[in-house]
Amino acid sequence: MDKLLVKGGRRLDGTVQISGAKNAALPILAGCLLVDGTVRVSNVPTALRDVATTNQLLAHMGAGVTVGNDGTVVVDAASVSECVAPYELVKTMRASILVLGPLLARFGSADVSLPGGCAIGERPVDLHVSGMRQFGADVRIENGFIKARVNGRLKGARIVLETVTVTGTENLMMAACLADGTTVIENAAREPEVTDLACFLNALGARIVGAGTDTLLIEGVARLHGGSYAVVPDRIEAGTYLVAGAITQGRVRVNGVVPGHLDAILAKLRDAGALISVGEDWVECDMRGSRPKAVDIRTAPYPAFPTDMQAQFAALNTVADGVSTIVETIFENRFMHMDEMRRLGAEIRIEGNTAIIRGVTGLTAAPVMATDLRASASLVLAALVADGWTRIERIYHIDRGYERIESKLQGLGAEIRRES
Ligand code: UD1
């Protein structure tokens, strides 16, 4: 299994190009199942394992999938014959649940394996299931599968989501596109990736209004047509590299981003003492050689601070000046990186969903283990400032969400290499 070896102590300085957003690419690729025609999706982070898994899933169903070496994926879902997402694929990627809405809406049938246990808490899919039932589908849980059926078309409905759910909103929005009549989704997720999916679907003939607000109005249409679309940049990848600049007291510029998507992250970097410069499609974080100040974090749905950046800011706080609290409100059990950071010398106390971190002046290298995607990124960040060579194991988690992380960090001056 691949490992990353990181030698801490280098101040990062440079520019990094940000990839397309994983969390937008996955629903968009799943959304291709709705389309009667060929779809060309560009700016797809095709080097990511989750993208490869999604492509495999589409191919398994009979869709034509062609991956270019320039970040484009062409999907032709005309030949879909098997409306089944098998356990072997779903167990490696929970986002496979995103095929439920498209399959059911277009083919009247979807069998999606239940994802099973997850490293970051329970993460149920009950809101996806109850939403499909409100659209008139018969949904049963049998033999480890969600089995959904509808005779004819789904019926538009008014759905009030009990919790803000990103993939839940996406699944219901996709299903509503081909439903008969009007759908209203209240308490919808407002994440930029949800908006990107809505723009993609509208480009192919869907009628969705309200994306980016908590109320979505969707007029069902008879069919979606083929077309082209470019995926939005990855705000979490961008945020991770900006924190890499801050934690090493260096200067990092991220290119090819939508700065407005980074507002909550940039506010915290400014609080940490960074000088933030913003251009049309770039952001620079400059610590000017000074130690970051500790910043309190509370995760919440967009536009508040993203749970997917919590672990990275935990890493920053481990070496910051002062004491900070980190409150995780989205997922239970999303603090597994904290134990690993303690192995590097961090001073962290956990009380329920709150971590209290007392910044230390230096970390020391140790072997550590990646436990989930963002936790792994946070260990790389901590390793960038730990004295000596840190070995990070199980980095397949990182490869699910960060394209070529070692070469991007090398480009910024980090000492990092991959070993198999
Ligand atoms: C998505 C992102 C993930 C991010 C998360 C929160 C993708 C592919 N993944 O995950 O990176 O960390 O949003 O921003 O986009 N919940 C229920 N019932 C449901 C669905 C969710 O109770 O049916 C709860 C979850 O347990 C969790 C909360 O809602 O506590 C938010 O989860 P959700 O937004 O659904 O996360 P994902 O869409 O899985």
Q: What digits encode the pLDDT tens for the residues 148-185?
A: 999 999 999 999 999 999 999 999 999 999 999 999 99
The Cα 9–Cα 150 span in angstroms is 59
Nearest atom within ligand 1 for CA of residue 302: 14
pLDDT of 371 reads 87
Does the pLDDT value for residue 378 go beyond 70?
yes
Counting ligand 1 atoms within 8 A of each CB, the residue from 127, 165, 330 with the most, and so the one to mutate, is 165
Going by CA atoms, what residue is nearest to atom 33 of ligand 1?
A: 165
pLDDT of 121 reads 56
Q: Contact, 146 vs 139, CB < 8 A? A: yes
Catalytic residue from among 32, 118, 177, 199: 118
Q: Return the DSSP state at 136.
A: T
Pairing relation of β-strands 282-286 and 251-255?
Answer: antiparallel
Q: How far is CA 100 from CA 32, 131, 186, in A?
A: 12, 11, 20
Q: Which residues line ligand 1 (CB under 6 A)?
A: 23, 26, 94-95, 122-128, 163, 165-168, 193, 307-308, 330-331
Hey, is 394 helix, strand or coil? coil
CA-based nearest residue to 268, from 301, 336, 308, 317: 317
Nearest atom within ligand 1 for CA of residue 306: 14
pLDDT of 116 reads 62
pLDDT of 119 reads 55
When comparing pLDDT for 2 and 116, which is higher?
Answer: 2
Going by CA atoms, what residue is nearest to atom 12 of ligand 1?
A: 308
Query: Cα(159) to centroid of ligand 1, in Å?
Result: 17
Q: Which two tokens stand for residue 295?
A: 């910043």
Query: Cα(169) to centroid of ligand 1, in Å?
Result: 10
pLDDT of 123 reads 67
Query: Cα(96) to centroid of ligand 1, in Å?
Result: 13
Q: Name the E strands within 251-329.
A: 251-255, 275-278, 282-286, 297-298, 323-327
User: 91-142 pLDDT, tens per residue?
Assistant: 888 899 999 999 999 999 999 998 765 555 556 899 999 999 999 999 999 9
Peptide bond into 102 cis (omega under 30): no
Residue that the structure tokens 């979505």 belong to:
216
Query: Cα(301) to centroid of ligand 1, in Å?
Result: 10
348: CB partners within 8 A, 6+ apart: 314, 318, 338, 341, 342, 355, 356, 357, 358
118 is catalytic: yes
Q: What is the mean pLDDT of the chain?
A: 96
- CB-based burial of residue 304 (10 Å sphere; 0-12 exposed, 13-18 middle, 19+ buried)? middle
- Give mean pLDDT, residues 67-75: 97
Counting ligand 1 atoms within 8 A of each CB, the residue from 96, 146, 163, 185 with the most, and so the one to mutate, is 163
Query: Cα(307) to centroid of ligand 1, in Å?
Result: 10
Q: Where residue 19 falls among pLDDT bands split at 50, 70, 90?
A: very high
- Give mean pLDDT, residues 191-196: 98
User: 233-264 pLDDT, tens per residue?
Assistant: 999 999 999 999 999 999 999 999 999 999 99
